[in-house]
Amino acid sequence: MTTRSMLTTTDSTTASGGRARRPLIVATARCLLAATLVVIAAMAPSAFAAEAGDRIDLKVLVLSANGFEASFQAWTAALKREGVPFDTLIANEAAPITSDTLTASPTHARYQAVILATGGLLECSALGCFSALDAGEWAALNAFQTRFGVRRVVAYTYPTPEFGLNYPFHAGDLAGTPAQLTTGGKAAFAYLAGAVAIDTGAYGYLATPLATEGPAPFETLVAGPADAAGTAAALVGVHNRTDGFEELVITVDGNASQLHSLLLAHGLIGWATGGVHLGYRRNYFTLHIDDVFLGDDRWDVNDNVTYEDDGATNPVVRMNAADVTRALAWQTTTGLKLDMVFNGGGSDEAIAENGSDALTKALLKARKQFRWINHTYSHPNLNASTQAEIVAEITKNLDWAWANKINLDPRELVTGEHSGLSNLAMPAALAQAKISWFAADNSYDPTPFNLGEAVSVPRHPSNVYYNVGTFAEQLDEYNYLYFDHCTNTATTTCLTAPATYAQYVNSEATIMIRHLLTNDARPHYFHQANLAEDGTLYPVADEVLKRYTTWLSVPLFQPTFRESSLILAQQQAWAGNAGAVKGWVVDGKIYVQSATAVEVPVTGAEAGSWYGGDRSGWFKVPGGDAAVVITEAEEAALPNLGKYEQWQLETQKWNAWKHGKGKGHGWGHGSHGKQGWKSSGKGGDTGCSSKSGGKSKSHGESKSGGKSKSQSGKKSGKKGHH
pLDDT tens, position by position, 8-37: 222 333 333 344 433 333 333 333 332 222
Could you tell me the pTM of the whole model? Answer: 0.85
**Torsion angles phi and psi, residue 583, rounded to 5:** -130, 145
Residue 633 has a pLDDT of: 77
Residue 180 has a pLDDT of: 98
Q: Are 575 and 80 in contact (CB under 8 A)?
A: yes
450/438 Cα distance (integer angstroms): 9
Residue 212 has a pLDDT of: 80
- Look up residue 453 and give its amino acid: E
Distances (CA, A) of 230 to 15, 204, 249: 51, 20, 21
Average pLDDT over residues 457-474: 98
The model's pLDDT over 646-692, given as tens digits with 9 standing for 90+, comes to: 333 333 333 333 334 333 333 233 333 333 333 233 333 333 333 33
Tell whether the model's pLDDT for residue 636 goes beyond 80: yes
Cβ burial of 552 (10 Å; 0-12, 13-18, 19+) is: buried
Residue 11 has a pLDDT of: 31
SS3 368: helix
Residue 491 has a pLDDT of: 85
570/547 Cα distance (integer angstroms): 29
The alpha carbon dihedral of 188, 149, 602, 101 has a sign of negative
More confident of the two residues 187 and 127: 187
Nearest partner of 622 among 593, 602, 601, 581, judged by Cα: 593
More confident of the two residues 321 and 699: 321
Cα–Cα–Cα angle for 660, 662, 663, rounded to 5 degrees: 60
Residue 214 has a pLDDT of: 63
14's CB contacts (< 8 A; 6+ apart) are 20, 134, 136
- Look up residue 295 and give its amino acid: G
**Pairing of the two strands 454-459 and 450-451:** antiparallel
Domains in the chain: ranges and CATH: 24-276 (3.40.50.880), 279-722 (3.20.20.370)
Q: Are 284 and 642 in contact (CB under 8 A)?
A: no
* Residue 217: pLDDT band with limits 50, 70, 90: confident
Q: Maximum Cα–Cα distance for the chain, whole Å?
A: 91
Q: How far is CA 610 from the centre of its chain?
A: 19
Q: Percentage of the chain surpassing pLDDT 90? A: 77
The model's pLDDT over 277-298, given as tens digits with 9 standing for 90+, comes to: 999 999 999 999 999 999 999 9
